[in-house]
Structure 1
Amino acid sequence: MTFSISARCARTGMFGIAVSSSSPAVAARCAHARAGVGVVATQNITDPTLGPKGLDLLAGGLSPDEVMARFKAEAPFFDYRQVVVLDTLGRSAGHSGTKTLGTYAIARGPDVAAAGNLLASDKVPQAMVDSFAAMPEAHLGDRLVAAMKAAVAAGGEEGPVHSVGMLLVDKVAWPVADLRIDWSEGDVMAELEALWQLWVPQMDAYVTRALDPSTAPSYGVPGDE
């Protein structure tokens, strides 16, 4: 019921994850990333606790393969989970438990890994990885949006998707982008793309306002003159 892409920008060190599902508010429980540390995607029959745990293990010096080994040894009901872990070197590890739903697959490349379950085709994750790899000079957010659109073009989920989210982290302790369409009957990828295009020109200004409001641009709202 979910497909996702976890990635690192080799030029900037920014991390990001985009995820979509037929169920509501998918990004709230599946998308986890930490600046300077990495990304964890936890999906299928989701255990949201694996996100923070995996990021803590990466921060403690474990590789993605070592994190996954810890999960396999310690996480309850791990056969029900589909998990991707990606680190600061662009290395990744993926797991699809024996209880993963429907058609499922994981595809990996340098700085990227994609995973999905209940897919229309097992080629969907590879289509996402290929799309990401084809845009090396683009902003990470643009690459993730393009990869999600490529997933839909390759068949996407077996049924319609209704929620999507994209999380980006970079240099500061909070997400620089946390964009979500938690439920829609329309084209959620088009809605995500439109939301991203609205957000990206303002993204750096919101970081500056948090770090040093005295140097930040105006808020651009009525009454701020």
Structure 2
Amino acid sequence: MTFSIVAHSPRETAWGVAVASRYLAVGAMVPAAGPDVGALATQAHTNMAHRERGLALLGAGETAERTLAALLADDPGRRRRQIGVVDRAGESAAWTGPECTGHAGHRSGAGYALQGNLLTGPEVLDAMQSAWTDSGDVPLRRRLLNALAAGDQAGGDRRGRQSAALLVVGAGRAIGEGTHVQVDLRVDDAHAPVTELARLLDLNDDLIGTA
């Protein structure tokens, strides 16, 4: 029901998640990220407990691979899950359970993991991966949005569109004092949620210095 990308920018010391789905308020369920910790996405019959436990494992110094293995080991529903993880060093890991509804799959590489289920086809993941690798000179928040938009334009969720979200944490710019959250935007119910997310990010970037 969802496609997402989890990634790290060593240049910005930042981690983030972008996600879209034909499901209400996907941003309340899938993404999790912590500064100097890492980020993850949990989706496909979503086990929301993976967010807190995954960040705790990453915060304790576990790698993405070991964090993913620990989450799956304790999850009786793992055959229906998807998880993408990036750790504090930018190493990545991803899982697509064999019972995820097709088209389902994932891609991962240095600094990113992207995953999707109920997709129109593998071209969604291919487009997201190309957009990510081709936009290395832009800020993480924009790079994540570029990848999400590419997946959306390639077909996205085969059932249609409803919600999208973008979460970025790290050093530097923040949405307010006392936080390391750089972006935390959600479109919970819209005809074109990724387009609306892009509009909100433009507003976020305009206002970030005055919040």
- Per the normalisation by structure 2, the TM-score is 0.92
- Matched residue, 2:189: 183
Alpha-carbon distance in 1 for matches of 2:13, 2:38: 10
SS in 2 for 1:201: helix
SS in 2 for 1:200: helix
Higher mean C-alpha displacement, 22-31 vs 81-90? 81-90
Which sections of structure 1, spanning at least 5 residues, go unmatched? 207-225
Counterpart residue type for residue 200 of structure 2: L
- Matched residue, 1:219: none
1:113–1:129: 8 Å Cα contact kept in structure 2?
A: no
- Matched residue, 2:175: none
Which one of the candidate residues 198, 204, 219 is aligned to 2:203? 198
How many residues align structurally?
A: 205
- Matched residue, 1:2: 2
Q: CA deviation at 1:111?
A: 1.1
Residue 151 (1) aligns with residue 156 (2): no
Supply the RMSD in Å over aligned alpha carbons: 1.4
C-alpha change, 1:129 and 1:205, in structure 2 (3 Å) is farther
Alpha-carbon distance in 2 for matches of 1:204, 1:65: 37
Which sections of structure 2, spanning at least 5 residues, go unmatched? 172-177
SS in 2 for 1:145: helix
- Matched residue, 2:174: none
Alpha-carbon distance in 2 for matches of 1:99, 1:204: 46
Residue 97 (1) aligns with residue 97 (2): yes
Cα distance per residue 1:137-177 (max 9 Å; x no partner):
21111111111111022221112110000001113645221
SS in 2 for 1:143: helix
- Percent identical pairs in the alignment equals 32
1:114–1:126: 8 Å Cα contact kept in structure 2?
A: no
Cα distance per residue 1:29-66 (max 9 Å; x no partner):
10101111111100010011101101110111111111
